[in-house]
Structure 1
């Protein structure tokens, strides 16, 4: 399994427009982060987790032009803002692209991208050919292209969202707490991707660095890659050298080959 980090930044990305913060002014390419998303490839199949507003550029620079499914963690703009740009992928593949998410999330997508689903003639030329698959009433897992996918229940503040597990790889973003049942489902996993926003304490916002590290100690994955990073975390090279063994900061363009 090949995992490509298309983006590793938070909702604003790095650099932030108009910011003079030192991290935003960094010349290190690893400090430049598009909105978080990963591409998963195996057996000539290609899956995307989240489709943010940087999706078009992410696909162009990673030289990918097909998708067999899209998994959506939640409905915030940095996770669905690029859905309009899947049109050329449909034209290349000539096949509807399935999108999986919670019923609430898919309802939001239908409202926000109403013209995709409209039967009105005036919207016909703008139509994106996708198929919608609700996960609210799903069992513990579902199958896509013969892959067993486990939706993971996560809390983003007071909002229930999803993470996803595929084989021995799990992806969790925007978590502020993880239910015990979800932790059991990924305990000792080979590769975990987990969000970290900043160092300083917070209220209901996604994990700080200490909270992420504490969660990693509980889950005990073989390797962890941190993502959904804000400029407030600090410089990539300075944070990475302080991380525990087998915990790494992900960066845009990072590729993991998972057996």
Structure 2
């Protein structure tokens, strides 16, 4: 299984529009971060987790012949606003499967009603095949088991996903012990690490490191990173063994 980090940035991306912050002005490609998303591929199958406003740009950078589905972690715009850009896949393949909590589907129906319409559809609109996800019910994607993991983004429940020995969670501030049990014996964990200072709805760096050590995956990568975490090259040197900052276009094999 191959995992490609399509984007590793926070909701505004890096650089932030108009910002003079030193990280936003950095010439290091690893300090330039699109909105957060990953592409997971195995055999001939391709799935993305989250479909944010940079999705088109990400698919041009990492072209795939087909998209087998989109899994959503939650409804915030930096994770969902690119859903209209599934159109090229829809025109070639037909309805695109989407996987999300019922609450997230309701939000998408409200914001992108033309995509979810069943009558009087606009001819150029993409269409989706809805698959509801429950935190207590693993499901299969082409015979591969996927286990949902519930976490909390402040008070908002969000879903992470475990594919075999790889797990991806973002926008996390708290994970209950019963859900942490789903993260045992991982080869790779991906978790958010927003910045140095504490934040009300995201792990900061200290909390992300503590969570990584608690889970005990063989390797951990941090994502959903803001400019306030600092320069990639400097932060990477200070991390514990087997803990790394992810960066856009990084590809790992599980």
Give the TM-score band, short-chain normalised. over 0.9
CA contact (8 A) 1:224 1:246 kept: yes
- 1:244 corresponds to which of 235, 240, 252: 240
Give secondary structure in 1 for the equivalent of 2:130. Answer: strand
Q: Does 1:212 align with 2:211?
A: no
**Equivalent residue for 1:128?**
126
Q: Does 1:102 align with 2:101?
A: yes
C-alpha distance in 2 between matches for 1:65 and 1:78? 24
Cα deviation, 1:177-218, whole Å, max 9, x if unaligned, reads 11111211112311000100000123x220000000011111
Give secondary structure in 1 for the equivalent of 2:123. Answer: helix
Give secondary structure in 1 for the equivalent of 2:122. Answer: helix
C-alpha distance in 2 between matches for 1:5 and 1:144? 20
Cα deviation, 1:54-84, whole Å, max 9, x if unaligned, reads 0000000112242111110000000000000
Deviation at 1:169, TM superposition (A): 0.3
Q: After the TM superposition, which residues 71-220 of structure 1 pair with which residues of structure 2 at under 5 Å, given as runs?
A: 71-92=71-92, 94-121=93-120, 123-136=121-134, 139-202=136-199, 204-220=200-216
C-alpha distance in 2 between matches for 1:26 and 1:174? 25
Cα deviation, 1:147-181, whole Å, max 9, x if unaligned, reads 11101011000001100000000000000011111
> How large is the RMSD of aligned CA atoms in angstroms?
1.2
Deviation at 1:241, TM superposition (A): 0.6
**Equivalent residue for 2:253?**
257
Gap runs ≥5 in structure 1:
none
CA contact (8 A) 1:117 1:127 kept: no
Q: Runs ≥4 in structure 1, deviation > 6 angstroms?
A: none
C-alpha distance in 2 between matches for 1:78 and 1:214? 26
Cα deviation, 1:18-62, whole Å, max 9, x if unaligned, reads 000000000000000000000000011111100000000000011
Normalising by the residue count of structure 1, what TM-score does the alignment of the two structures yield?
0.95
C-alpha distance in 2 between matches for 1:133 and 1:2? 23
C-alpha distance in 2 between matches for 1:257 and 1:12? 28
C-alpha distance in 1 between matches for 2:222 and 2:67? 24
Task: Kindly tell me the number of residue pairs found equivalent between the two proteins.
Answer: 254
**Equivalent residue for 1:41?**
41
Normalising by the residue count of structure 2, what TM-score does the alignment of the two structures yield?
0.97
Cα deviation, 1:119-142, whole Å, max 9, x if unaligned, reads 453x42232121011113x74311
Q: Does 1:233 align with 2:232?
A: no
